[in-house]
Structure 1
Amino acid sequence: MPKPSLSRRSLAAAAVLALGSAAAAPAAAQNLTIGIGGSPTSLDPHFYNASPNISLTMHIFDRLVEQDARARLHPMLAESWKAVSETVWEFKLRPGVKWHDGRDFTAEDVAFTVARVPDVPNSPATFAGFVRAIQRVEVVDPLTVRFHTAAPHPLLPVDLASFQIVSKHAGEGASTEDYNSGKAAIGTGPYRLSSYRAGDRTEFVRNDNYWKGPEPWARLSYRFMANDASRTAALLAGDVDMIDQVPSNDLARMKRDPRVTVSEIQGLRLIYLVPDYSRGEGTPPVFVTDNDGKPLPKNPFLDPRVRRAMSVAINRDALAERVMEGTAKPNGQWLPEGVFGYNPEVRVPPFDPDGAKRMLAEAGYPNGFRMTLTTPNDRYPNDARTAQAVAQMWTRIGVRTEVDAIPWAAYSARAARQEFNMRLVGWGSSTGEASYMLVNIFGTFDRERRWGSANNSRISDRELDALTERASSILDDEKREAAQREAVKMATDRTLVIPLFQLVNSWALRKGLTYDARMDERTVAMGVRPAR
């Protein structure tokens, strides 16, 4: 098997474990309960490219290629892979793998999955970008599959590590609701579905015939707990064994608590602000008015001077220190230092409120305007608090901003319909390189080409698209990274989005357990082990 194309780049930051001296958990404790802060919206592994959904479905479904806690590639359902020509990749599948219903996993399941990924109805953000390069899937034999691409695509193994494989026999004709009901939720993964209650909890039982060997936990309860205080209290009371998104105001106390182990790592998720680009010059924007409450004749966010003004009006150090309480690092791009494609020339935008006022005046808004900033209130750590702080900073430069904080389930559906003029959102570059955001967020939305699959703001920059496409086809690692760095600078110079900070991912567990902290922020039972 060849080394993955990113193997020469260290993916930065080792996990920091707050290890204690307590004894390991009792052998009888074979059940695990996890409390999560993000809300999964479906058991369909291809419905929504969002971290809570992916974390949940990883317990049921496997991928061809695995990404470990530090975003490094390893074999999973595929034992090995190689490029047999510039436009053909061959993957050898693992023999003896069974679906939960006892049927054999084969190359037909892989071909079925690739065809299904871009074709899930009503998806708020699809996985289509990961199969955009694949023109044809060739089933050579039950354990060999070849992927044909129109041009060289060195990142195909990375793409195939980004979505889960479903069974053809259970998935043919199945809707998202069939997965939610459990009818089609038949995977090859370490756990079988017991029950699913949307917005509440999912119960699993161990797959004792899992091809990697059984997990230590006979039963898994995976619970959605949006309230930070309730999540912390549940851990300290022993109602759950682990929580993610440890509240920033509890983190220091949790690290000192002898009953608790904290696991941390620098994450790949950027929290950022993005305006709506779907309303052009002749279409008045929603939730934006002049100071008298009258609709503006055009969308102010189409002017890069307005976007730059609003960016430099933000004190990112204050957000990281006061709102996030040290659990985030200010950034001017979407990658943390050390990740493939990170551009050291792109700095954190300076805090310059006076300069922001001048830019607004130059753009024709000397008195500013009124607007609404929409944010989820149960998706990211301190999401609503961050939005409130930004709103105060914007109001000081004359852009009087109100905050609308709503639950993630409603937010995600409305964002997909372009109902917000400015919103706070996060994106985790789980592939460990720059093209993931370049293709899916910055790429001009094109359902046929499978570009911009999560571009709900309808960003469109054809010059950036062309550079992204060129970078994605470069086989040489160093040249490809140079092209990605150029694209990173282009996107940030044009202020297509307004980056705020990179999250530090944290989990807290009862003493006696450890967690392999993940850069991609996935919260999975497969990373939890009794302490030795």
Structure 2
Amino acid sequence: MDIMKDIANKYVDRRSFLRAGALGTFGLAAAAVIGCGDDDSSSSSSPASSSSAPQAAKATHLTFGKGSLGETMNPNLASRRSVEWAACYENVCTTYQGPDGPYLKPYLATSWEVDPKDSSWVFNLRDSEWSDGKKLTADDVGFTIQYAANPENKSRLISRVNTFESYEVIDDKTIRFRTKKPDATWANRMSLAFIQPRHIYEDATKGPNEQAVRPVGSGPYIITNYVKDALIEGVESPSSWKGNVGIKSWKMNVIKEHTTRVAAFETGDVDWIDTVPLQEVERVKAMAGVQIQSSTPYGTAGYHLSGWQSEGIPTNDVRVRKAYNLATDIDTIGNSIYSGFFASAKGQPTVTDVLGHEPNISDYGYDPDAARQLMKDAGMPNGFKQKYDTHSLNSEAVPMATAVAGYLDEIGVKSELATIDISTWRDGLYGRAPRTPIFANTWHSTSMFDAGFCFTWYLSDNAAKYYGNPEFDQNYADSLTEFDPAARAEVYKKNVKLLHDDAVGLFVVDTSRFMAWRPEIIPSYEIREDPQLILHETVLA
């Protein structure tokens, strides 16, 4: 059975059809480059410029395309750092990638320190103002973290702030955070939370639901138009201390269908897009006046294998989970579906550059005969039937799931594969609903954060029940109290080995995203991950 050939034929035909339809929708001849905010005709039909000609004014508007998200402006509804949230809100501090590696940079906070008496963290804040005119205070900062940490609020940030115990407002511009135990990573955690206005959340006529559609923020931009899953527009905030370096207004088109997004870029309807489908990378590279580049790896694509979710599931047996790994040719999947752009995963959920990655551990290798023997040892020589859910967040997700189902079929595991909508997938991801024994996921583990941020998924008290190992939990707790990064990495590596030995997942490739843009519009775009585009720091031509 040629698994990869069958998949390639199916999905290449579909992409060709979608591309033709998308180009027909957007048109092959754009009258103007919308993202430039300039209605002048192309340079080929304009007279040559002379030294005495006036300099063209810099563009101040950017139209760009995003492949996902856009479903809410409430940052408690997902654990990410999206472009639109970074435009509307502030973090206490933020992460950047420097020549010597990632580092934290002040944002709303001007400085911070650890109190040696009790290992609490004290942050000094700058003057900032909400877009409705009210002053942002230290109490807003404390409220944001407390709200996210409270299970009753069902914030998807809860695992990111799971060491929070309490906060103390020293004055309007100074706040102290106390954690359950000393937490060496607390400042990094603060870079993940977008500060929210307490007065809006506690207003009975507004609350979090109002914040999701008509947000009050303190960031560089004000949201002027929000249409769920379609578009978001913003203009510069007159009250922001941060300001911007050129973009005064912007429009984000949410274009979830991947080929349609590329078509919108090709026709000039947008001047920057994220997540270029890998099958389209070479075609986009060949477009005139276009630059395309991938980010650093931001996570590992693959599957959770249920072993701790509920009783009576075949994957509760570690031999079955290991058989899944041995039956799957991840190198072939990487070369075929991912076009060889991404490295195969190394048998762990953390990418190579993350503090705590274990270089001495690799994948299980491809050995179908050994997989069949493990199935036999587990008392399931003839296999079984299973349900198998995947998302479609990127163009590779469904083909990869189809390939894995084909490999598992060869050891007797018959899969009922279903592509589920994003909301249903997230409910399973966060443990709000049951999920199938094999369940698609991407473990976010950028070099900006330690392995411990990924490991929160595997703690025994995580609502999703991905793992249950007291030794793992204790190692995690020990890592938090270790302020020396090198020593903390060694503790993390112990947990990598536990996850590998218990085969908690089927880790396929270390993924990144390809972004494409027009240098004539954005002359000095810096590739980064989460958020991929920092609007207030982006200069237009």
TM bracket, shorter-chain basis: 0.7 to 0.9
In the other structure, the counterpart of 2:209 is: 177
Q: Is the 8 A contact 1:505 1:517 kept in 2?
A: no
| Structure 1 Cα separation of the partners of residues 342 and 464 of structure 2 | 25
Aligned to 1:6: none
Distance 1:527 1:405 in 2: 37
In 2: Cα distance, 1:479 partner to 1:528 partner:
37
Please tell me the residue identity of whatever aligns with 1:270: T
1:243 matched residue in structure 2: 273
Match of residue 221, structure 1, among 251, 257, 263: 251
One-letter code of the match for 2:91? R
Report the equivalent of 1:231. Answer: 261
Bigger shift: residues 67-76 or 243-252:
67-76
User: Cα distance, 1:110 vs. partner?
Assistant: 1.0
Separation in 1 of the partners of 2:303 and 2:213? 35
Q: Which residue of 2 aligns with 1:320?
A: 334
> Aligned equivalents of 1:487 and 1:338: distance in 2?
17
**Distance in 2 between residues matched to 1:170 and 1:316, nearest whole Å:** 48
Alpha-carbon displacement from aligned partner over 1:357-379 (angstroms, at most 9, x marks no partner): 111111111011112221112x1
Distance in 2 between residues matched to 1:63 and 1:367, nearest whole Å: 53
* Corresponding residue SS for 1:330: coil
| Aligned mates of 2:386, 2:531 — CA distance in 1 | 32
The change in CA–CA distance for 1:92 and 1:318 in structure 2 (over 3 A counts) is same
User: In structure 2, what residue type is equivalent to 1:434?
Assistant: A
User: Displacement, 1:508?
Assistant: 0.5
Q: Distance in 1 between matches of 2:88 and 2:56?
A: 26
Aligned pairs for 1:195-206 within 5 A:
195-206=225-236
Matched residue, 1:501: 509
Q: Is contact 1:278-1:458 (8 Å) kept?
A: yes
* Residue correspondence of structure 1 range 281-296 to structure 2 within 5 A: 281=311
- Identity percentage of aligned residues: 24
SS state at 1:129 partner: helix
Cα displacement (A) at 1:277: 4.1
Structure number with greater Rg is 2
1:479 matched to 2:487:
yes
Q: State the shift of 1:338 in Å.
A: 2.9
In 2, Cα distance between the equivalents of 1:482 and 1:475?
Answer: 12
Tell me how far 1:32 sits from its aligned partner: 1.1
Report how many aligned residue pairs link the two structures. 477
Indicate the residue corresponding to 1:290 in structure 2.
none
Q: Is the 8 A contact 1:429 1:520 kept in 2?
A: no
For the residues of structure 1 that align with 2:188 and 2:58, how far apart are their CA atoms? Answer: 39
Contact 1:380/1:426, CA 8 A, preserved across alignment: no
Q: CA deviation at 1:31?
A: 1.5
- Paired residue type of 1:465: D
1:413 is aligned to 2:423: no
Cα distance in 1 for residues equivalent to 2:364 and 2:400: 17
Aligned counterparts of 1:231 and 1:26: Cα–Cα separation in 2:
29
**Residue 29 (structure 1) shift:** 3.0
More strand by share: 1
Alpha carbon RMSD of aligned pairs, Å?
2.3
> Residue 354 of structure 1 corresponds to which residue in structure 2?
369
How much has 1:26 moved relative to structure 2?
Answer: 6.1
Contact 1:374/1:403 (<8 A) preserved: yes
Q: Any conservation in 2 of the 1:64–1:160 contact (CA below 8 Å)?
A: yes
Is 1:46 the counterpart of 2:76? The answer is yes
The aligned amino acid for 2:210 is D
**Corresponding position of 2:539:** 529
Tell me the amino acid that sits aligned with residue 228 of structure 1: H
CA–CA separation in structure 1 for the residues paired with 2:230 and 2:424: 16
What is the CA–CA distance in structure 1 between the aligned matches of 2:306 and 2:225, rounded to whole Å?
38
| 2:383 paired residue number | 368
1:467 Cα shift?
1.1
SS in 1 for 2:113: strand
Deviation at 1:327, TM superposition (A): 3.0
* Aligned ranges 1:6-21 → 2 under 5 Å: none
Query: What SS does structure 1 have at the residue aligned with 2:356?
Result: coil
Q: Is the 8 A contact 1:267 1:518 kept in 2?
A: no
Query: Secondary structure in 1 aligned to 2:352?
Result: coil
Normalised to the residue count of structure 1, the TM-score between the two structures is 0.84
In the other structure, the counterpart of 1:424 is 440
After TM superposition, list the pairs within 5 Å mapping 1:55-454 onto structure 2.
Answer: 55-69=83-97, 71-85=102-116, 86-94=118-126, 96-119=127-150, 123=154, 126-173=156-203, 174-182=206-214, 185-277=215-307, 279-281=309-311, 298-331=312-345, 332-377=347-392, 379-415=393-429, 416-430=432-446, 431-439=448-456, 441-445=457-461, 452=462
The equivalent of 2:7 in structure 1 is: none
The amino acid across from 1:237 in the alignment is: T
| Paired letter, 1:487 | N
Using the TM superposition, give the Cα deviation of residue 383 of structure 1 relative to its aligned residue in structure 2, in angstroms: 0.9
Structure 1 pair 528/405, CA: closer, same or farther in 2 (3 Å)? farther
Task: Deviation per CA, 1:253-284: give whole Å up to 9, x if none.
Answer: 22232221113222221112013345533xxx
Once the two structures are TM-superposed, the CA of residue 50 in structure 1 deviates from its matched residue by 4.2
Distance 1:179 1:278, change over 3 A: farther
Unaligned runs of 5+ residues in structure 2 are: 1-43, 50-54
Alpha-carbon distance in 1 for matches of 2:276, 2:190 = 31
Letter in 2 for 1:301: T
State the 1:523 CA deviation. 4.3
Tell whether the 8 Å contact from 2:459 to 2:473 is kept in structure 1 after alignment: yes
Which structure carries more helix by proportion? 2
Aligned to 1:487, the other structure's residue is in SS state helix
- Give the match's secondary structure for 1:529: coil
CA gap 1:376/1:135 in 2 versus in 1, 3 angstroms: same
Alignment CA distance shift 1:390-1:202 (3 Å)? same
The CA deviation string for residues 71-126 of structure 1, in whole angstroms up to 9 with x for no partner, is 421111111011112421111111x3222122222211112112211247674x62
Q: What SS does the corresponding residue of 2:373 show, helix, strand or coil?
A: helix
Q: Find the counterpart in structure 2 of residue 448 from structure 1.
A: none
Unpaired runs of at least 5, structure 1: 1-21, 282-297, 446-451
Deviation, 1:459, is 2.5
C-alpha contact 1:136 1:147 (8 A) present in aligned 2: yes
Post-superposition Cα deviations, 1:157-183, rounded to whole Å, max 9, x if no partner, equal 01111111112222224543211231x
SS, match of residue 296 in structure 2: strand
Give yes or no for contact 1:105–1:167 (8 Å, CA) kept in 2.
yes
For residues 239 and 386 of structure 1, the distance between their equivalents in structure 2, rounded to whole angstroms, comes to 30
Which residue of the partner structure matches residue 472 of structure 2?
464
Q: 1:522 to 1:349 in 2, by over 3 A?
A: farther
Partner secondary structure for residue 298 of structure 2: strand
Q: Which amino acid aligns with 2:303?
A: L
Please give the TM-score of this superposition, normalised by the length of structure 2: 0.83
Segment of structure 1 superposing worse, 241-250 or 144-153: 144-153
> Once the 2 structures are TM-superposed, how far is the Cα of residue 423 of structure 1 from its aligned partner?
1.0
CA distance in 2, matches of 1:27, 1:479: 53
Q: Which amino acid aligns with 1:346?
A: I
Amino acid at match of 1:456: A
Aligned partners of 2:66 and 2:273 also within 8 Å: yes
2: CA distance, partners of 1:212 / 1:404: 45
